[in-house]
Chains A and B, each alone.
Chain A
Amino acid sequence: MARLRPGDLWRMALRASLLQATWNYERQQGVGWAFGLQPALKRLYPDRAERCDRLAEHTAYFNTQPTLASLALGAVAALEEQRAAGGGPDAAGMARVKSALGSSLAALGDRMFWFTLRPFAACLGILLAPAGLARGALALWLCYNAFHQGVRFAGLGWGYREGPAVLDERLRGRLDRLIRLFGMGGAMLIGVLVATLLVPGGEPRPIVFQATLAAGLGLGFVAAQRPRPSPTQWALGVGALCVAAAWLH
């Protein structure tokens, strides 16, 4: 019975970075998923025709949060190993596992990476940027990638070892704790950021700046209550109003 080697998992983790390269409305990450799984299937199915059939199956619809996709890739690689040995789920069963893992990981990953870690890293970068733009940019990049790349590479091994049970209560609990921690840290970072904007280096900014910043915060809270208009549309409207006001003044 053919078994996957650490080198295969490593190649899959590298390819997981390209999961979204061919993202489209019809199959979303389907082709990227098959590309990520290709090194495992190469090891498990020596017969080219059979391997191509399996790969074609895997190009079907799949979508999840791209960082946590590694866990699903590892878990499905473990199932493919069983399938190549004559056990494991059939094509329909595999599709069900992918669908279940994809939606659960997306729910968790969107909260962790898009709603929490990315804004947290951005706040950290912005806070450090006035002391050195390169330092701020590096802080943003390192803070995000320490988790993003760490989970992407380690996640494949977790998924392979645990199989579809990878998303158990223990992992959920850990990620939930991290989300809470980053949420609290992010709220504190914004507090420090607002203070440094009001009194940079201990020198209070002009009252007009402070009042306008407060007005912006108030407007932002109102805007955040509704998904539409988007923050960018609000910002464009505010910019146009400021230009018009400067001309009329």
Chain B
Amino acid sequence: MNLPLFATLLLAGIAALDATPVAQTLLSQPLVSAALLGALWGDVRVALEVGVVLQILAASTSPVGARTPEDYASGGVIGIGLALALATRAPFAMYRDSCAILGVLTGLVAATGGVPLLKWQRRRNEGLSRWCEGELRAGNEGALAASHRAAAALAFAVGVGYAALWLGLGVVLLSRLATAESLHLSRAWALAQPLWIGLGLAQLLHAFVQRRLARAALFGIAMIGAWLALMIGTP
């Protein structure tokens, strides 16, 4: 097994832990995964392109209350990992663009497909919590630590297994598509990338502005100011 692939699977497990069960430090965000995987696979450009799109979309998805949001922790590692694994096979720009769009699409599907898996884990934890209470009532204080170890191990294993499945299937099924249809896919990437970025940024702006005119004005002033500074140059 090659080292980058092994490390990608390990990162998928760590991301699955960070997303909800342990610490929630945002280590599982696609941009952080992209930086780590880009350095690991030695291809920062593809990692950046896929990571930015997935990050913008992930930022507009919130784990509020009991809602189970799309699993961008796994989706990010899977999408970026797959794009990088495919992109190592050829150096051509058009081919790499086709790898990027396949990576983003796979990442989005994997993030959506991860929701039932998260719900399944949460239902498994119901049994664990009942067992824990029973053990505590019986005087076994160590049940609390044991149930936490079990839940964390399950989350890690599910993260690694889910990523292994997607990466294995993706590399086998999509490498021929990326090679044979790189022209069409690179055209699709040229169209989809700005659309995705715009779609995600609008969602974020909507969340920040919240119908407040002053904030909308700040957005406009910052945009025009930055545009002028970039076009004319700062003194």
Q: Which residues of A contact B (CB under 8 A)?
A: 17-18, 20-28, 30-32, 34-35, 38, 48-49, 51-53, 55-56, 59, 63, 66-67, 106, 110, 114-116, 118-123, 125-126, 129-130, 133-134, 136-138, 140-141, 144-145, 148-149, 183-184, 186-202, 204, 208-210, 212-221, 223-224, 230-236, 238-239, 242-243, 245-247, 249
Contacts and interface: CB of A to CB of B under 8 A. Distances in A.
B216 A18 contact: no
Interface string B166-193: 0000000000000000001101111110
Which of A67, A106, A126 has the largest number of chain B CB atoms within 10 A? A126
Contacts, number: 344
6 contacts: A22-B128, A134-B35, A188-B219, A213-B197, A216-B196, A232-B108
B188 A141 contact: no
A51 B141 contact: yes
A66 B24 contact: yes
A129 B52 contact: yes
Interface residues of B, number: 106
A42 to B, nearest CB: 8
Interface of B: 20-27, 29, 31-32, 34-36, 38-39, 44, 47-48, 51-52, 55-66, 70, 101, 104-105, 108-109, 111-112, 122-126, 128-130, 132-133, 136-141, 144-145, 147-148, 151-152, 155, 184-185, 187-192, 194-210, 212, 214-216, 218-227, 230-231, 233
Nearest to A34: B144
A59 B221 CA distance: 51
B202 A219 contact: yes
Contact of B191 (A122, A136, A202, A212): A212
Q: Is the interface of B mostly helix, strand, loop or mixed?
A: helix
A120 B62 CA distance: 13
B208 A20 contact: no
Contact of A20 (B20, B52, B133, B144): B20
Contacts of B55: 122, 125-126
Nearest to B35: A137
A214 B112 CA distance: 26
Contacts of B64: 110, 114-115
Nearest to A225: B206
Which of B29, B195, B201 has the largest number of chain A CB atoms within 10 A? B195
B43 to A, nearest CB: 11
B129 A31 contact: yes
B201 A21 contact: no
B39 to A, nearest CB: 7
B204 A119 contact: yes
Q: Is the interface of A mostly helix, strand, loop or mixed?
A: helix
A230 B105 CA distance: 15
Contact of A187 (B152, B189, B222): B222
Nearest to B45: A133
Contact of A56 (B24, B137, B189, B206): B137
Contacts of A35: 144-145, 148
A129 B51 contact: yes
Nearest to B33: A137
A199 B230 CA distance: 7
Given A31-B129, A133-B44, A196-B226, A216 B65 contact: no
Given A23-B125, A195-B230, A232-B112, A245 B191 contact: yes
Contacts of A231: 57, 60-61, 199-200, 203
